[in-house]
Structure 1
Amino acid sequence: MNTLLNSLRNNLDLTNMFAQVQQTRLQFTRIHALTEAWHWLLLVFICALLVAYVVWMYRRDAIELRKSTAFTLILLRVAALVGILFFYLNLERLTEETIVKNSRVHVLVDTSQSMGLRDDSDQTQVNRIAHVVQELAEGETIQGLREKHDVLVYRFSEDVRPTEIAAFPRVARESTGQANGLNAEVVANVRKLVQIGLALLAVAILSLLYYLFRARHNQQNETGAWSLLSGVVLAIAAVVVVGVGNLRHPELSFTDTLGITSPDLTQVSTNPDVANPEFDLPDVDWASALSPRGTKTRLGDAIEYLVTKERGGPIAGIVVYTDGRNNSGESLEAAARVARGFQIPLYPIGIGSDKQAKNVRIVDMEAPQRVYPGDNFKITGYIQAFGFENTSVTVELISRPAGIAVDDESQNTVEEQTQWDLGSDGQTRPVEFEINPDDSLEGKRDYIVRIQPPKDDNNPRDNQKSGTVEIVTRRNRVLLIAGGPTREYRFLRNLLYRDREIQVDVFL
C-alpha cells in the first residue's frame, strides 16, 4: 500500500499548478489596429516620404552651414519624427496578472458495510476501513499531496452524491521573486545598461561643452564642429539606453537601477488560494467519519458527480479507496469514460483481500408501513452468506416501541425465532415471519430481523435490519357528495369501499 501511495504522489506532482504570476511589458497598441497589409505599406510609405522631405529641405537650406551643423539639424528633425511615430503607435505599459487556482485532489473513501470486514489473511486482524483511517490520520498521504494541491476527502456508499468530510488547503510556499522575472542576474543586467547609458550621457555632455566653449567660436575648425553632432547622438543614445533599462523592469526603482538601494527579491506568496502556515487544519475523527454503514457501493455515481462538478477546473486527479466493485447506480465504465473525456485521472487503491471474507448479513427487509389490530401481516428478511455453506443459524424477529434508544433492550419482545439453513456463497434467501398484532397495540413499533451469527463472522454490523410499522385503530373517513348515480360516482364509491383503511359516507 505504501508503494502505491508513493507512486500516486509522484504522478500527481506532474499536474502541479503554480502560484500567482504578475508580468509587466510594453506594447504598441496601435499595431493591433493595423490588420491589413496595405495599412503597413501606407505607414512605411508616409514615414519614408517624411524622412526624405526633411533630408531634402535641410540639405537645401543648410548649404551655407557646416556639415556637422547640417547633419545635427537633420538628426534632430528625424528624431522628432520618430517621437511623433511613437506617439501615433501609442506605446503603453501593460501589467498582466495571472492567478492560477491551486489544483485539487479528491479522495473518495468507500464506507459500505463490506469495508467493516476483517480479512483472514490480514495479520493485523483489523477491518479494512481501519487501514484507511490509519493512513489518513497518521500516514503521509494527505501531507504529501498538500505540498502540491488542495486535498478534499469524501465518503461514499449508498447515496448518489458523496459526502465531503474535510478540506485541506495546500501548504504555503515562499516564492523567490522569479514569478515576475526578478532575480539577481536580471538586476545586474539592468544596472549595466543604466551604467552604459550614464557613461554615454557623460561623454555627450563633454562633447557639447567642448563645442559650446571652444569649437563654436572657431569657425575654421571643421573637426571640432563635429563635437556638436557627436554630443547630440550620444545624448539620444544615452536616453534610449537608460529608458530601455528602466522599461524592461519598471518594478525596479531608479535608485535600484543605480545600485544605491537593493530590491527585495524574496517575497512570500500572496496568492489567497495558498494556505497560510498558521491556518487551523480541520480536526477530523476519521474513525467516526468513515464508519462503514452503507448497504450499497455507488462508486460510479460518486466519480461521475466529482467529474461533473470539477470539469474545466484545476483538478489533478481522483483517488479512490475501495474494497470491491460498483454494485449500484451508474456503471463504473461509464463514469471512467466521462473522466477520461475531461482528462481527469483516476487512482484506485484496493483495500482488503481478493478472497471473500466470511460473513453473514441481512441484505434487506420488507415490512408494511400501516396495519390494523387483529390483521395478520408478513415481515421478510433477506439473508446472504459467504463462507458458511450448509451452516444453520438462528434468526429472530424482535419488536419494540418506536423512538427508544438503540442500546435500550429492556422493552424488546421476541416475536418469533427460527433456525435457518444458509445457502451457497453469495446466494440471497428470504426468511418470512407472520405477525398477528394484539388488539391492544397501537402506534408505531420497530420490528428487527436479527441473526445470531457464527463465531467467525467478520462483520457484526450487518447482522440485523429494522423497519417501522404503524398500527392504526382509526380509519380515514371520507364524505362522497354527488348529484346523482353517475358512472364516475359508482367507480369512485366502489374504489373507496374496497379500501379497508377508509370509511365512506355518501350524500346524493
Structure 2
Amino acid sequence: MNETINGVMDETLVDRVSGGTQQVVYEFARAATLEGWWSWALLIGTLALLLFLCIRLYRRDVAELAPLTRWTLIGLRLITIAGLVFFFFDLHRRTERMVTRPSEVTVLVDTSQSMSLPVGAMGSTQTRAERAARLLEDSDLLERFEQDHRVSVYAFDQTSEPKLLETRGGVSPLGAVEQPTREPALASNAAVIGALLVGLGVLLSVIALLVGAAGRTEILPWLICGAACSVVLGMISLGSVYAIHTDRSLAELLGRDKAADSAATETNEPTDNDATPPPVRVSDWSKTIAATGSQSRIGDALRSILSDHDPSTLSGVVVMTDGQNNGGVGTGAAIAAARRTEVAIYPVGLGSSSAPVNVRVVDLDAPRRVYPGDKFAVTAMLQASGPKNMEVDVQLLDKLDDSSSGSGAETNEASANLGEVVDSQKMNVASDGTLTAIRFEMEPESVGRRRLAIRVVAPEEDQNQRDDSRAARYEVVAKKLRVLAIAGGPTREYRFVRNLMFRDKSIELDVWLQTGKPGMSQDADRVLDAFPAKPEELFDYDAIFMFDPNWTAMSAESLDLLDRWVSQQAGGLILVAGPVYHSQWTRLRTDPRVSRIAGFFPVNLSKRGTLVSGGRQGGENPWPLDFTPEARRAEFLWIAEDPADSFDVWEQFGGVYDFVGVKNAKPGAKVYAYFSDPTTEIGGSLPAYLASHFYGAGRVYFQGSGEMWRLRGESDTYFDSYYTKLVRWVSEGRLMRDSTRGVLLVDSSRAMVGETITVRAILTDDQFEPLDVAEVEAKLLAPSGRIDDINLLPLKGEPRPGTYGGRFVVREAGSYELRLTLGDALEEQVLQQSVQVRLPTVELERPRRNDDELKQLADMTGGVFAAVEPDTTNDALVSTLVSQLKPQPQTTVLPGTPDIDFNRRRNVVLMWLIATMLTMEWVTRRLHRLA
C-alpha cells in the first residue's frame, strides 16, 4: 500500500544527462513511517469515521437548506479535511538520478623488451609490438568495442602499475549533471488559468453577498456553489504550479516579470563550461607501445586492473602479450583475483609457440675507439633454439669501413661485405634459449674507421638468416691523446693520475701544478707555469683534468678561453673537487668570474660554507657510493673485465670520506652516484658525487672529492681502468670529429632496447659561423634497415649558438647509426655516430610464446585464448574478441534530498486553501442564518 500511495502523485521528468537519467519523485513522507497493516487499518478507520460523522452531522445541520447549498457546505468542510489529511501525510519532492554505468573493456598491451622479438618463427621481420600496434591502429577492434563498452588501453612492463594510454566510449563521469528542463509556457498558462478561476470565485462570492443582502435567495445557492468551485479549482491549479516551480516567483509564473523569466530560462540551458573533457587518444600506436620495459609483469598488471575497475561492469580484460611473466607476482594471483571478481581474461598470444631451429648473435660488445698496438677484446652473446644443442663455427671479421652497407644484423647474401675472417672458434650453444658468451682478442691493423663483425656459420635448417651476424664500427686513432692536468696542490689523487697518464703510451701529458716552483721536476712530458694564454696552445689539448684548482689564479681571459675550448672545440673537462680551493671561490660574492666558473659544473653548488650543506672535510667514516641506473650504462665505470662484475667491485669498495656541497643537478645533467650518508640529505635528496653534462660541444665531468685513489686498495687495475676510460670518454667528441663544420654527439654509445638516446650537434655554416636554421634533419639507420628522420632543434640557454638537440628511442637490438649531412653535393660533409643496442638477459631467456600460461589464464577465468599465428588475420581476431565480450552495464538509483523550497510553498498553499474553505463556509452559514 505504501508503494501505491507513493505513486499517486509521481511526476517523472526524464532528461538525457551525463551518465544516466534524472527523475523527479513526489512521495508522502508520513506514509513511509507507517509500518504494519494495523497502522494503516487504524488510520483508514479513523478517516472513515471522521468523514462519516462530518457528513452525517452536516446533513442534519443543513437539512432545511436547498440541496445545492447543503452539498456545497459539506464539500467545503470535506475539502478542509482533505487539506489537513494532505498536510498530515507530508508530501515531499526529491530528484533521483538513475545512473547507468556503461560496460567496460580493458586492453593490456605488453611493452617489455621481449616484444621486440619477431612475431613469427619463419624469418618474420615484424616484431610482436608492431603486430599489436597494427591490431590497434589498422583494425576496427577499438571502434567495435566502443559501440557497447567504455574502452581503456593500458601498457605494462616492469612497473607494478600499468600506464593508461587511451580511453574511448562510454559516458562522462558522475557529477556533470544538467538540470531538468522545465516547461515555462505550460506552467505559466496553468498559473494564469488558476488565477483567473480564483478571481472568478472571488467575484461570484461578492455577488453572492450582495444578492443575499437583497434577499434574492433563489439564485444564491448557484452563486455560492460556483464561487466555491472556482476558488477550489483555481487555488489547486495556481497552488500546484507555484509549489512545483520553486525556481520561479509568483510574478514570474503569472508573466508579470518577463526579464527574470527570460534569465531563468537561460540559466537552465547547458553551457560550454559543463562540457566533459575529451577522451585520451593515441596518434601513433607504433611509437606509443614501443618495447621498452626490462621485465614483463603480467600478474601485477592484471591485479592492478582488477582492483581499479568495477567488476560489476568490467566485461573482460584483453591481454596482448607473449605470456612470459618474468617479474612481480605470478599469474596465479591474477587468476585468483579474476575468479573472485568473476571477470574473464582474454589473452592474445603474440610470438611463436614452437622452438624453431635457429642460432643468432644477440649482442656484440666492441670498443668505439682503440689505439695502434693496443689489443682489445670483442665479446658477443649467442642464443639458440631447437630440439638439441648446436655446435657452430663463430667467425670474427674485420675491414675498413666504407659506410656502404647498412648497420646491424646482416643477411647471408650481404655477408661478403662484412670483411675478411681474422679469427674463428667452435662453440657449443645450448638450445634452451640461454645466452652463451664468446670472446675474441684482436690488434688493430691500420689507422682509420673500421668495421668488425661476428658471424655464426649456421646449420642448413636455420630458419632465420638475418640474425646470424652482427656488426659494429670502431676507430683506430693514430694521434696521441693530449691531456693537461691542473692541480691546486700536489694531492694524492693528482699524483696517482699524473703517473698513470704519463706511463700510458697513447697519452701525451702536460701538467700545471699551481703551487709548484720553477724548475720543479714532474712526471710529465711538459711542465707549465701558467694556464695556456693563446687559443692555438689550449685548443691542441683533448682533455683537461682539474684537481681542486685555484680558480682565482686564472684570469677572466683564461676562463673565456677555457669556455671556448669546451663549448666550441668539444674538449673534455674533468673537475675533481677538493677541500682547499673549492670552498674559497664558492664563497665569493662580487667576483664576476664566479658565475663563469659555476657554469662549467653539471651541478648547482652550495655557497653557504662547509657548516651548512657545504660538504664535508675530514670525515670519520667512509661511505659507499649510491649508484644510479645511469651508472650501469656508463662504460667508464666498468672497471672490471666483465661489465657485469664491475658493480660488484664498486660494492666492495669501501667508499669515500668527503664531498663538496651540491644542491642539485642542473637540467640535462646525468647523475651517476650520490654520497650515501643519510645525514647529508637536504631537501629529500642526497648530494650528487659523480655527474656529467654537455657543455656546448664538449663534456664536463664532476667528481665530489679526490678519493678514487682508494680504489687501489682493491686493485691498482681498477683505479687505472677508471681514469683511463674516463679521460677517453670525455675526449670522445674531440677524437670522433668527422668534419670541420661541427660535431655530433650522443649521450650513450651503448643502450638497452627501449632507452632514449639524447643527441647533440654543434654546427657552423660554410663561413664557420654558428649555424642559424630552424631545424636540422638527421637520418637514423636502424638495425632492420629502416631509415627514420630525426629533427634536431636549436637548444635554448646554451653557452654557444648553433647548438641543436633531439632524441630518439631505440626499439630493436643491433647497431644504430645516426648520420647528419652538411653542405651541398660538391662539399658534402657527413657527421655520424653509432649506438649499440641489446636486449636484457631476462627478456631473452624465454623467447617462445608461453601458450600454457596464456591458456590457463583464459580457462580458469572463463575467457578465450586467441593465438596470433602468421596466417591470423585481424578480422578473424577482432570478430572472436567482440563476440565473446558481452556488454554488462549497471543502473544505479541515487536518491536525492527533499526540496525545502517545495515544502515551504506546499504549506503556504495548503494554509491558504484551508483558510479560504473555512472562510467561505462561515460566510455561507451566516448568509443562511446558521449557527
TM > 0.5 fold call = yes
Distance 1:150 1:474, change over 3 A: closer
Q: Secondary structure at the match of 2:465?
A: coil
Q: How much does 1:98 deviate? A: 6.0
Distance in 1 (CA, whole Å) between partners of 2:248 and 2:124 is 62
Partner residue in 2 for 1:338: 337
Distance 1:119 1:39, change over 3 A: closer
User: Does structure 2 conserve the Cα–Cα contact (< 8 Å) formed by 1:358 and 1:456?
Assistant: no
Q: How much does 1:307 deviate? A: 0.7
Partner residue in 2 for 1:456: 465
Partner residue in 1 for 2:235: 239
Distance in 2 (CA, whole Å) between partners of 1:90 and 1:473 is 79
Encode CA deviations 1:140-188: one digit per residue, 9 max, x unaligned: 66677678776544323455x2431535476888xxx9986658xx778
Q: How much does 1:230 deviate? A: 3.5
Q: What aligned pairs does 1:298-377 form with structure 2 within 5 A after superposition?
A: 298-311=297-310, 315=314, 317-324=316-323, 332=331, 335-336=334-335, 338-351=337-350, 360=359
Distance in 1 (CA, whole Å) between partners of 2:469 and 2:195 is 86
User: Does structure 1 conserve the Cα–Cα contact (< 8 Å) formed by 2:384 and 2:390?
Assistant: no
Encode CA deviations 1:283-324: one digit per residue, 9 max, x unaligned: 787555533255654434421231123245754543322244
Distance in 2 (CA, whole Å) between partners of 1:268 and 1:208 is 49
Distance 1:112 1:283, change over 3 A: closer
Distance 1:331 1:247, change over 3 A: farther
Partner residue in 2 for 1:481: none
The unaligned stretches of length 5 or more in structure 2 are 1-16, 364-378, 397-422, 440-452, 459-463, 471-641, 655-713, 715-931
Distance in 1 (CA, whole Å) between partners of 2:308 and 2:314 is 10
Distance 1:90 1:313, change over 3 A: same
Distance 1:106 1:430, change over 3 A: closer
Distance in 2 (CA, whole Å) between partners of 1:125 and 1:90 is 76
Alignment-mate amino acid for residue 270 of structure 2 = Q
Aligned residues: 400
Q: How much does 1:207 deviate? A: 5.0
Question: Which of 260, 267, 270 lines up with 1:267 in the alignment?
Answer: 270
Distance in 1 (CA, whole Å) between partners of 2:248 and 2:289 is 53
| TM-score, scaled to structure 1 | 0.58
Q: How much does 1:78 deviate? A: 2.2
User: Does structure 2 conserve the Cα–Cα contact (< 8 Å) formed by 1:18 and 1:102?
Assistant: no
| TM-score, scaled to structure 2 | 0.35
Q: How much does 1:473 deviate? A: 12
Distance in 1 (CA, whole Å) between partners of 2:227 and 2:142 is 67
Larger mean Cα displacement after TM superposition, 147-156 or 188-197: 188-197
Distance in 1 (CA, whole Å) between partners of 2:99 and 2:31 is 27
Q: Secondary structure at the match of 2:94?
A: strand
Distance in 1 (CA, whole Å) between partners of 2:170 and 2:24 is 28
Q: How much does 1:129 deviate? A: 0.8
Partner residue in 2 for 1:112: 112
Encode CA deviations 1:212-243: one digit per residue, 9 max, x unaligned: 4547745441x551331243134313333454
Distance in 2 (CA, whole Å) between partners of 1:297 and 1:57 is 89
Q: How much does 1:109 deviate? A: 0.7
Distance in 2 (CA, whole Å) between partners of 1:137 and 1:468 is 43
Distance in 2 (CA, whole Å) between partners of 1:193 and 1:332 is 67
Q: Secondary structure at the match of 2:644?
A: strand
Partner residue in 1 for 2:744: none
Matched, 1:419 2:416: no
Q: Secondary structure at the match of 1:420?
A: strand
Matched, 1:211 2:208: yes
Encode CA deviations 1:319-343: one digit per residue, 9 max, x unaligned: 3222446577666576356335424
Distance 1:205 1:468, change over 3 A: farther
Distance 1:473 1:107, change over 3 A: closer
Partner residue in 2 for 1:488: none
Q: What aligned pairs does 1:61-140 form with structure 2 within 5 A after superposition?
A: 61-97=61-97, 105-119=105-119, 125-134=125-134
User: Does structure 1 conserve the Cα–Cα contact (< 8 Å) formed by 2:18 and 2:178?
Assistant: no
Alignment-mate amino acid for residue 644 of structure 2 = G
Partner residue in 1 for 2:644: 467
Alignment-mate amino acid for residue 34 of structure 1 = L
Encode CA deviations 1:68-112: one digit per residue, 9 max, x unaligned: 334333322222222222222222222345667776543311123
Q: How much does 1:30 deviate? A: 1.5
Q: What aligned pairs does 1:46-57 form with structure 2 within 5 A after superposition?
A: 46-57=46-57
Alignment-mate amino acid for residue 36 of structure 2 = E
User: Does structure 1 conserve the Cα–Cα contact (< 8 Å) formed by 2:382 and 2:429?
Assistant: no
Distance 1:309 1:58, change over 3 A: same
Matched, 1:29 2:23: no
User: Does structure 1 conserve the Cα–Cα contact (< 8 Å) formed by 2:356 and 2:385?
Assistant: no
Alignment-mate amino acid for residue 306 of structure 1 = I
User: Does structure 2 conserve the Cα–Cα contact (< 8 Å) formed by 1:382 and 1:428?
Assistant: no
Alignment-mate amino acid for residue 319 of structure 2 = V
Question: Which of 225, 228, 244 lines up with 2:221 in the alignment?
Answer: 225
Q: Secondary structure at the match of 2:227?
A: helix
Partner residue in 1 for 2:277: 276
Distance in 2 (CA, whole Å) between partners of 1:473 and 1:335 is 36
Q: Secondary structure at the match of 1:267?
A: coil
Larger mean Cα displacement after TM superposition, 81-90 or 206-215: 206-215
Q: Secondary structure at the match of 1:276?
A: coil
Distance in 2 (CA, whole Å) between partners of 1:117 and 1:386 is 17
Alignment-mate amino acid for residue 106 of structure 1 = T
Distance in 2 (CA, whole Å) between partners of 1:217 and 1:139 is 93
Alignment-mate amino acid for residue 420 of structure 1 = M
Distance in 1 (CA, whole Å) between partners of 2:649 and 2:317 is 48
The unaligned stretches of length 5 or more in structure 1 are 1-16, 365-378, 397-415, 435-449, 477-500, 502-508
Q: CA RMSD in A?
A: 5.5
Alignment-mate amino acid for residue 419 of structure 1 = K
Distance in 1 (CA, whole Å) between partners of 2:358 and 2:248 is 71
Alignment-mate amino acid for residue 421 of structure 1 = N
Encode CA deviations 1:440-471: one digit per residue, 9 max, x unaligned: xxxxxxxxxx986667356999xxx9624434
Alignment-mate amino acid for residue 309 of structure 2 = E
Distance 1:431 1:325, change over 3 A: closer
User: Does structure 2 conserve the Cα–Cα contact (< 8 Å) formed by 1:158 and 1:298?
Assistant: yes
Q: Secondary structure at the match of 2:115?
A: helix
Encode CA deviations 1:420-445: one digit per residue, 9 max, x unaligned: 23444xx24575889xxxxxxxxxxx
Alignment-mate amino acid for residue 465 of structure 2 = D
Partner residue in 2 for 1:447: none
